[in-house]
Structure 1
């Protein structure tokens, strides 16, 4: 009996997730958007919606100091050649590299990108070059994962001041004095897991429609029903 109940709950969860995904897809008016993210969160948006990656920031990680540096001069950095290094400027990353290999890219020899899911520099380079060409600079969304990877309140405040009309910073702490932050209960550092968690606190479709990330009363009701 217990197994039957658990099986029913699992099927119900899967059905609700599929329905939620379909409704979100239908709500998004312009599906040719580019998300710039410092972790896997951005890639999960495209995967969930079944859309082609129109961003090179898929399956990657940038530590907070590098990410803020990049988005302060985003076009110049992204359009610069990607080079490679075998040694990170971050001690914890070098410790990770002792356990397993992953390519480390550099933009302008200054911003460090960790390609976690690529087996070689050549593979990472090919995907990066292909996806950079798809960037829609006219429909850009900037997402920052705060409270991890050497992020501190000063960097979150710098992010908040940047002149991007559509930006969010997901945090595990409340920063009520900052406009771009979204406090996420049960915050985790894994970007893919964080995607599922954050959608309970943040209206992704509304954000991509440039309507803000706050759920409307109607949308909150729909979320409860499904």
Structure 2
């Protein structure tokens, strides 16, 4: 019976993804994200991952550096470190009240936390493979303000010279250079933790966002 249930579930999920995918004008877009949001969007449409930023997170300040100089950082090698050597170790330990057991790597002067990977070998292999798939011509740069709480961070994100930027923030902020979306739930999520995806998908029509991506 379990095999039958699993088969039915698989068929249902594939049909749901197909119906969602039919709403898109194209499916060759890439998403750079500071957390797991991008991977969940690929899953929503049943698409292969065309971005290295899947199943991981980058803290706000480091993420801004990353997208401000995207080509530079993507050209840097990953250098895995003992998680206890992370410059963010104390912060993450306080947040989660437990040791970091997933791979942590430096990419130049920023750090990447491969939360959903079992080994540094897996993390490095998939990072490289997915970075090669990146479509730089149809690219969405997405940022959720999770650790920082200042408009200066949003100013920096707005100033990044890329055309397709989407930011979810718990602050009221407007700019003609970027789509800033106020998410009140982030105020609490940023204290207690949790998945922002359901709240963000209520706030924006992700199909419309993707269909209106401008070519870089």
Give yes or no for TM over 0.5. Answer: yes
What does residue range 92-131 of structure 1 map to in structure 2 within 5 Å? Answer: 92-94=91-93, 96=96, 98-108=98-108, 110-131=109-130
TM-score (normalizing by structure 2): 0.80
Q: How does 1:1-226 map to 2 (within 5 A)?
A: 22-86=18-82, 87-90=85-88, 91-94=90-93, 96=96, 98-108=98-108, 110-146=109-145, 148-177=146-175, 179-187=178-186, 188-189=189-190, 193-210=195-212
Aligned residues: 195
User: Shift of residue 208 of structure 1?
Assistant: 0.7
What is the TM-score normalised by the length of structure 1? 0.77
The CA distance in 1 between the partners of 2:213 and 2:166, in whole Å, is 13
Deviations 1:122-146 (A, max 9, x none): 1111111111111111111100011
CA contact (8 A) 1:83 1:106 kept: yes
Q: Identify which range, 162-171 or 19-28, moves more after superposition.
A: 19-28
Q: Which runs of 5+ in 1 are unaligned?
A: 1-14, 213-226
Question: What SS does the aligned partner of 1:62 have?
Answer: coil
- Unaligned 5+ runs, structure 2: 1-11
Task: Write the distance in 1 (CA, Å) between the matches of 2:193 and 2:179.
Answer: 18
Cα distance in 2 for residues equivalent to 1:152 and 1:67: 15
Look up the SS of the partner of 1:199 in the other structure: helix
Q: Supply the RMSD in Å over aligned alpha carbons.
A: 2.6
Secondary structure (helix, strand or coil) at the match of 1:113 reads strand
